[in-house]
Amino acid sequence: MKPKRKNRYSCDICSKSFVVKDNLKQHLPTHGEKPYSCEACGSSFKTKYNLKAHVRAHTGENPYACDNCDAAFATSSRLSRHKKSHTTEKPHRCEACGSCFKHKPDLKVHLRAHTGEKPYSCDICSMTFALNTDLKLHMMKHGRKPYSCDICDKSFVYKSVKKQHMLGHTGEKPHSCVVCSSRFKTKPELKTHLRLHSGEQPYSCNVCSKAFRSMTCLKSHMLTHGGEKVYSCQICSKSFARKYDLKKHVRTHSGERPYCCQACGSSFSTSSALSKHVTLHSQKPKSSLKVYLLGGSKVQLIFWHLEENKRNDEAIKTEASN
**Are the C-beta atoms of residues 277 and 270 closer than 8 Å to each other?**
no
**Nearest residue to 156 via CA among 145, 165, 167:** 145
User: Domain check: are 140 and 209 in the same one?
Assistant: no
**Are the C-beta atoms of residues 288 and 304 closer than 8 Å to each other?**
yes
- What are residue 17's DSSP bridge partners? 10
**Are the C-beta atoms of residues 121 and 138 closer than 8 Å to each other?**
no
Residue by residue, DSSP assigns 41-53 as T--EESSHHHHHH
User: Domain check: are 62 and 77 in the same one?
Assistant: yes
pLDDT tens for residues 50-103? Answer: 888 888 877 778 888 888 887 888 888 888 878 877 888 888 888 988 888 888
Sign of CA dihedral 89, 95, 98, 99: negative
User: Domain check: are 98 and 72 in the same one?
Assistant: no
Is residue 1 in a domain? no
What does each C-alpha distance from 160 to 62, 82, 130, 131, 165 come to in angstroms? Answer: 14, 18, 22, 19, 9
What's the CA gap between 86 and 202, in Å, rounded? Answer: 10
What does each C-alpha distance from 108 to 97, 139, 219 come to in angstroms? Answer: 13, 23, 18
pLDDT tens for residues 246-257? Answer: 888 888 888 888
pLDDT tens for residues 31-64? Answer: 667 777 878 777 777 778 888 888 887 777 888 8
Give the CATH number, domain containing residue 53: 3.30.160.60
User: Domain check: are 73 and 109 in the same one?
Assistant: no
Supply the pTM of this predicted model.
0.34
pLDDT tens for residues 249-305? Answer: 888 888 888 888 877 778 888 877 887 777 776 654 444 444 444 444 444 444 445
Q: Which domain holds residue 248?
A: 227-278
